[in-house]
Amino acid sequence: MSRAKVCRLTVDRVVYIDYKDINLLKHYVTERGKIIPSRITGASAKHQRMLNRAIKLAREAALLPFCAD
């Protein structure tokens, strides 16, 4: 039986995920540019919603690619 995944953002007491923090966002995006689901990353529902918004804003601001080539 595998261990339950723990939300790293909850452990670090993250209140706001900034869309300009590319180093953090890259951990939650595949090499093809797709957002990794929370069942794989272990992110809580609240933080997963914040991550989705931040990643989509970063894509619009051209900080992250929409899809990797």
* CATH code at position 53: 4.10.640.10
Give the phi and the psi of residue 29 in degrees, each rounded to 5: -130, 140
Residues of the chain with pLDDT under 70: 1, 68-69
pLDDT at 21: 93
Q: What's the burial of 9, exposed, middle or buried (CB within 10 Å: 0-12/13-18/19+)? A: buried
Which residue reads 């991550």 in tokens?
A: 51
Cα distance between residue 4 and residue 67, in whole Å: 30
Q: Total domain count for the chain?
A: 1
Q: Is residue 68 part of a domain?
A: no
pLDDT at 3: 78
pTM: 0.87
pLDDT at 69: 64
pLDDT at 68: 66
pLDDT at 28: 94
pLDDT at 4: 78
